[in-house]
Amino acid sequence: MGSVRPRPRRLLFALALRTAGWFLFALAAGVLFCAIGAAQSDQPSEYEVKAAFLFNFTKFVEWPDGSFDGPHAPIVIGIIGDDPFGDSLTRIVAGQQVQGRSVVIRKERFGEDLRRCHVLFISASERQRSAQILAGLRDASVLTVSDIDGFAEAGGSMQFVMQENRVRFLVNLDAATQSKLRVSAKLLALAQVVNHGQAAR
């Protein structure tokens, strides 16, 4: 006896397997739907937005004559230190024209000639050296940008700050003027202006 009857344990096992299979399927389907749904209205990351700002700054700053090698020479955005942007900055500037010029991204290293940049983003990894970098660029027409705390007060041109998960920026007008950069009124209207050595808190 015994071998003809279906064994309830087997049945239970098969049932459990089937349940698990359905669950995995439902999970994956759910994930897929949500990813597609989310693609309609997604939140970009902090550095994707900062990358978009960096690109936008080039539209609202005028460099003095002689900053470019020729009428069609590109605008150079340099990044010094660890690049927090991934490939988002490269993707944002790809194929874009500003004042009839293309925009290129260059990775810079400490000790190299940073004066060939038009915009220089100083990564948070360069916190210790930021004062040295700024000193080296005194009187050079480079728009210095960073998100290091106190960067604008310390003589940087522009500083990103985060407020309630939104990206804001500070402009140190003295620093920009000293670099012979003309910052457009539109940009200033949207910025929090900081004077050299004293923040407008």
Residues constituting the chain: 201
Residue 156's nearest CA partner among 170, 166, 167 is: 170
Among 7, 11, 14, 23, binds another protein (CB under 8 A): 23
Tell which one of 39, 135, 185, 200 touches another protein (CB under 8 A). 39
The correct pick among 6, 43, 65, 135 for binding another protein (CB under 8 A) is 43
Would you say 53 and 160 are in contact if contact means Cβ atoms under 8 Å apart?
Answer: yes
Q: Does 24 bind another protein (CB under 8 A)?
A: yes
Indicate the pairing of strand 158-163 with strand 61-62. Answer: unpaired
CB of 49 to another protein, least distance (A): 5
Place of tokens 């900053």: 67
Q: With the C-alpha atoms ordered 143, 149, 153, 154, is the resulting torsion angle positive or negative?
A: negative
User: Is position 11 an interface residue for another protein (rule: CB under 8 A)?
Assistant: no
Comparison of 53 and 68: residue with beta carbon closer to another protein: 53
**Counting contacts by CB under 8 A, is residue 98 touching another protein?**
no
Residue 30 touching another protein (CB under 8 A): yes
Contact range with another protein by CB under 8 A, out of 50-58, 114-122, 133-141, 171-179? 50-58
State the minimum distance, in angstroms, from the CB of residue 174 to another protein.
22
Instruction: Classify each residue of 25-47 as buried b or exposed e, where b means 16 or more C-beta atoms within 10 Å of its C-beta.
Output: eeeeeeeeeeeeeeeeeeeeeeb
**β-strand 192-194 against 166-172: which pairing, if any?**
parallel
Interface residue list for another protein (CB under 8 A): 16, 19-25, 27-32, 34-39, 41-49, 51-53, 55-56, 60, 82, 84, 86, 88, 91-93, 96, 123-125, 127-128, 162, 164-168, 186-187, 190
